[in-house]
Amino acid sequence: MKASHGVIRTALLAIVVAATIQVNGAQQVPAIDSLMTAADFRAAGLQKLTPEELSILNGWLAKYTMSVVAAIRTPQTANPDFSS
């Protein structure tokens, strides 16, 4: 079964953020505007957000990314049984 582009993109983002966290030694996730190009930021309409709204979005992104990082770090079973 092939993974969707969204899943792959999320996993790659989590890996990059995990590497950033490990290099910096802090549990900090980069702000969304530092992860996107200025053109992508504008194309997504994020420049319309107030500083408070952008802060809330960055907080959500940090929580979500840390949950993905935690899931990646959690050992998975070698051969899960999907038959049942």
Question: What pLDDT digit, counting tens, does each position of 4-39 carry?
Answer: 667 777 666 666 666 655 545 556 788 999 999 999
- Does residue 84 form part of some domain? no
The answer to whether residues 33 and 53 touch, using CB atoms and an 8 Å cutoff, is: no
Q: Which residue has tokens 């490990």?
A: 22
Q: What's the mean per-residue pLDDT of the chain?
A: 78
- Does residue 45 form part of some domain? yes
- Does residue 50 form part of some domain? yes
> Residue 33 is part of which domain span?
5-73
Give the DSSP H/E element, type plus range, for residue 45.
none
Nearest alpha-carbon partner for 41 in 54, 29, 56, 59: 54
pLDDT band at 1 (very low <50, low <70, confident <90, very high): very low
Query: Considering just the CA atoms, what is the radius of gyration of the chain in Å?
Result: 16
